[in-house]
Amino acid sequence: MVTKRLLAAAAALLLTAGGAVAGTSGLTCKEEVGKKIFFDERLSIKKNQSCAECHGPEAGWTGPDSYINNGGAVYEGSIPGRFGNRKPPSSAYATQSPFFRLVNVSDGMFVGGNFWDGRATGEKLGNPAADQAQGPFLNPKEQALPDAACVVYRVCNSADYGMLFKQVWPGACDIMWPATIKFESACSDPYQGPFNLDSMTRAKVNVAYNDIAYSIAAYEASKEVNAFTSKYDYYLKGKAKLSDKEKWGLDLFNGKGKCANCHISTMEQICASGNDCKDSACADPYSNASDYCGKTYPLFTDYTFDNLGIPKNPQNPFYYQPDNPDGKKWIDPGLGGFLKSRMDFKMYADKNYGKHKVPTLRNVDKRPYPMFVKAFGHNGYFKSLKEIVHFYNTRDKFPTCYSGDPREKMTCWPAPEVSANVNRTELGNLGLSDMEEDAIVAFMKTLSDGYMSYEY
């Protein structure tokens, strides 16, 4: 498998270039430079948007604006008025996702990748999170830079961390920038680019752009981001006690609520860097990847895809975007949409229409202050954990109603955004009482990182 070789190459680089520990942060130099890039607002067309603008650590690495979350839940890009179509998922724990691939031919079942629809597959850089990291900088609805050369130019010339980047990636910035292009101004102009670079310069830019992606992925995989310091982690280590309600919620999560069918709550065997040992890779003793296998604390996802029948979020700003010819009739095709774009997977598109990747529930309740609103689901339809648990519990028990009905979210639910492929076996009518719903919510609140155990 090509991907495995790429992984080994990436891992070898990790050991040489990024192995040294930088300063007192506890991060390696490569992780540290990835962090600087992640938080650098200058890496956007108007120098006003970093990755953290949509993935704030204080909000569990997802959207940090309570007002936006309470409405459309989709974030504006660097250019005002430009919106994508989905709610930002957590960027933490995303590095644990295996390569995107077909796991069951007869069911057309897929696993892995990054994004709600898995389209950052890991095929390009041997790591789905690195593939993902190359998207936002150039996405016109996100950081919107006109050319990858702009990202490389601004990183290499950063007064703050340009030196560190060169140290981690020797030679990456040895680029003869053509004098004919005024990068300072051209990179702030959405009508410029992609630039006409000679093939030598373009090749060097591409290599440096890959190095930037590997740096970000290294930071995202670091202990600072994938912290595993929630109350539940301490509980698993025997260093914290769950309250009676939280323990009851855990039992329901694993049992009557069926949540753990998809959001796995127990220790697992996995590989780092987007590989996966449940089947081939790590079981193979000759595979380089086996060095990176190990047990992990639960990730609360199995990285498969499902259609829960979540209703549309009518406040999604994408309905009013000029590049959306369907207007309010637009439907998010989820995984099916991505598969349709691929010759090799096209035939599985229908079976996966409307399905989205199972998100991790780590930090699902993490918020900067108690009244801060978080949105849940790929379109942010749900505004509280209670709402989404009530939906799992009663979707099929209550009648369908129009969006805006005063009973909505209490005793009726609007129709699914996509009616095909809705999972009707694992959710919809769970028979949970109101108190049982609350207990599941209480359990999910134990998944926020940064819990201090006083029982050492």
CB 399 within 8 A of CB 89: no
Structure tokens, 327: 């207007």
Distance from CA of residue 363 to its chain's centroid? 12
d(CA 169, CA 297): 31
From the CB of 48, what's the least distance to ligand HEC, in Å?
10
Return the number of the residue (77 or 281) whose C-beta is nearest ligand HEC.
77
Nearer to ligand HEC, 287 or 339 (CB): 339
Closest to ligand HEC by CB, 216 vs 218, is 216
* Cβ-based nearer residue to ligand HEC, 51 or 175: 51
* C-alpha angle 383-134-361 in degrees, rounded to nearest 5: 30
Distance CA 231, CA 242 (A): 8
Residue nearer to ligand HEC on the CB measure, 53 or 211: 53
CB of 257 to ligand HEC, least distance (A): 4
Residue whose CB is less far from ligand HEC, 287 or 413: 413
Closer residue to ligand HEC, CB minimum distance, 338 or 451: 338
Total residue length of the chain: 456
| Residue 260, CB-side half-sphere exposure with 13 Å CA sphere | 16
Q: Toward ligand HEC, which CB reaches closer, 339 or 385?
A: 385
Q: Distance between CA atoms of 395 and 393, rounded to whole angstroms?
A: 6
In contact, 401 and 414? CB cutoff 8 Å: yes
Whether residue 331 contacts residue 417, with contact meaning beta carbons closer than 8 Å, is answered with: yes
- CB of residue 136 to ligand HEC, shortest distance in Å: 3
Return the number of the residue (168 or 287) whose C-beta is nearest ligand HEC. Answer: 168
Task: Report how far residue 25's alpha carbon sits from residue 231's, in angstroms, rounded to the nearest whole number.
Answer: 23
Least distance CB 135 / ligand HEC (angstroms)? 7
Task: Name which of 360, 306, 367 is nearest 335 in CA terms.
Answer: 306
Peptide bond into 190 cis (omega under 30): no
Query: Shortest Cβ distance from residue 315 to ligand HEC (Å)?
Result: 15
Residue type, position 25, single letter = S
Residues 263, 264, 265, 269: is their CA dihedral positive or negative? negative
Start-to-end C-alpha separation, the chain: 45
Distance CA 368, CA 304 (A): 30
Give the angle subtended at the CA of 91 by the CAs of 218 and 126, to the nearest 5°.
45
Buried b (16+ CB within 10 A) or exposed e, 271-289: bbbbbbbeeebbeeeebbb
Cβ proximity to ligand HEC, 229 vs 384, nearer residue = 384
Task: Please report, as a single letter, which amino acid is at residue 343.
Answer: M
CB of 200 to ligand HEC, least distance (A): 26
Least distance in Å: CB of 62 to ligand HEC? 7
* Smallest separation (angstroms) from ligand HEC to the CB of 281: 20
For the bound state, the minimum distance from the C-beta of residue 264 to ligand HEC, rounded and expressed in Å, comes to 10
CB of 384 to ligand HEC, least distance (A): 10
Residues that bind ligand HEC (CB under 6 A): 38, 49, 51, 53-55, 75, 77, 84, 86, 88-89, 91, 94, 114-117, 129, 132-133, 136-137, 142-143, 216, 257-259, 261-263, 306, 308, 310, 356, 358-359, 361, 364, 376-378, 385, 388-389, 392, 423, 426-427, 440
Whether 398 contacts 385, CB under 8 Å? no
